[in-house]
Amino acid sequence: MAMTLTTTVRPESRVEDIAQRLCLLAGPLTLIGFAVGAIPIGHFVPPFIAPGDTAAQVAAMYVAHATRIRWGAMIAMISLSMLAPWGIAVAVQTRRFGGRSHTLCYVQIACAAISTTIIVFMCMFWAIPAFRPGDVPPDVVRALNDIAYFLIVWPYFPFTIWVLSVGLAVLLDPGKDPVFPRWVGYFSMWNAISYLPAGFMTFFHHGPIAWNGVLALYIPLASFFTWMVIVTFYGFRNLRRPGEDLAYRPA
Alpha carbon of residue 174 to chain centroid: 27
CA–CA gap between residue 215 and residue 38 (Å, rounded): 19
Q: Above 80 in pLDDT, residue 74? A: yes
The chain-wide mean pLDDT, for the chain, equals 85
Residue 101 belongs to some domain of the structure: yes
With bands split at pLDDT 50, 70 and 90, how would you rate the model's confidence at 20?
confident
C-alpha closest to that of 24 among 83, 94, 109: 83
Instruction: Supply the range of the domain harboring residue 221.
Output: 11-238
Give me the phi and psi of 3, to 5 degrees please: -115, 135
Q: Is residue 243 part of a domain?
A: no
pLDDT tens digits for range 25-56: 998 999 999 999 999 998 898 998 989 899 99
Span of 3-12, 81-90, 130-139, 180-189 with lowest mean pLDDT: 3-12
**Helices H / strands E in the chain, number of each:** 9, 2
The reply to whether 3 falls in a domain is no
Residue 68 in this model has a pLDDT that exceeds 80? yes
The pTM score is 0.81
Q: What is the pLDDT of residue 247?
A: 32
Q: Is the residue at 86 inside a domain?
A: yes
In the chain, the percentage of residues whose pLDDT exceeds 90 is: 56
- Domain for residue 129, yes or no? yes
Task: Output the pLDDT for position 96.
Answer: 67
Confidence of residue 101 (pLDDT cuts 50, 70, 90): low
61 located within any domain: yes
State which H helix or E strand residue 248 sits in: strand 245-250
In a domain, 251, yes or no: no
Per the structure, how many domains does the chain have?
Answer: 1
Could you read off the pLDDT of 192-224 as tens digits, one per residue? 999 999 989 999 999 999 888 999 999 999 999
For 207: left if phi > 0, alpha if psi spans -120 to 50, otherwise beta; the answer is: left
